[in-house]
A = this chain, B = another copy of it.
Amino acid sequence: MEKLIIVKVGGAVLEEEALINDFLDHFTAIPSKKILVHGGGRTATLLSKKLGIETKMVDGRRITDHETLKVVTMVYGGLINKSTVALLQSKGCNALGITGVDMNLISAVKRPVGEIDYGLVGDVTGVNASAFSVLIQAGVVPVLAPITHDGKGLLLNTNADTIASSIAVAMADLYQVSLVYCFEKAGVLADPNDDESVIPHLNFKLYQDLKNEGKIHSGMIPKLDNSFNALKMGVTEVIITSANTLNISKGTHLSL
């Protein structure tokens, strides 16, 4: 099967002029078929503030009312997505900026109200693998902003890590998929205070042990749970590496 690399990068890289060019150079240089998934939370929070809209976060997730949905649609789907695509095009990468709404690429349902009402937030229910394939086989590099829809006309703010792993799992029937999470650190650290302590190989057993010992940073847990789940669902490899170098041979390689 042909290789497909899916790279997730946080807004912190694409929102920082000093970092974005290097990162997109590294991304452009990846020789295989590829997809980029990005965030943009910091800019969304800044724009909300300028517009007098209060930002409410619970466990790192944005509570999304109607006005906040407009902000994230503008920031993720418009400003960050199109600025990134323009830079990639200037580097010779045939990028196409999209959301899960376009070509019905990613369908979702509004998250049911439980203990917390997240508002207009989507839980992914389906990925249109054949539509992704049409684009990829045409030599196009999809660049995804984390917005999905419910199929009834409603846009939904959706976690970008989840979008990346959902696409990875859906494409695993058609491609040999590598899922790469870019990170401000060089990988998963054995000691959070020592940037040199990158764990090169992390299997599920070691992950459980480190988690039980409280050695894995709480913010990493949903990302790693997502990652091991993707491996169980047929994704070939998951790598957590530095956004600065996007070096897939370094960082932390996960295995079951």
Contacts and interface: CB of A to CB of B under 8 A. Distances in A.
Central interface residue in A47, A70, A153, by most chain B CB within 10 Å: A153
Interface in A31-56: 47, 50-51
A101 B73 contact: no
Interface string A132-155: 001000101000000101011111
A154 B86 contact: yes
One complex includes copies of this chain to the number of 2
Contacts of A95: 102-103
A82 interface: yes
Given A50-B51, A82-B155, A138-B134, A101 B89 contact: yes
The SS class assigned to the A binding surface is helix
A87 interface: yes
Contacts of A134: 138
Interface of A: 47, 50-51, 70, 73-79, 81-83, 85-87, 89-90, 94-99, 101-104, 134, 138, 140, 147, 149, 151-155
A76 B73 contact: no
A51 to B, nearest CB: 6
Given A77-B82, A78-B75, A78-B78, A94 B103 contact: yes
Contacts of A153: 86-87, 89-90
Contact of A101 (B77, B79, B86, B99): B86
Given A77-B77, A77-B78, A97 B102 contact: yes
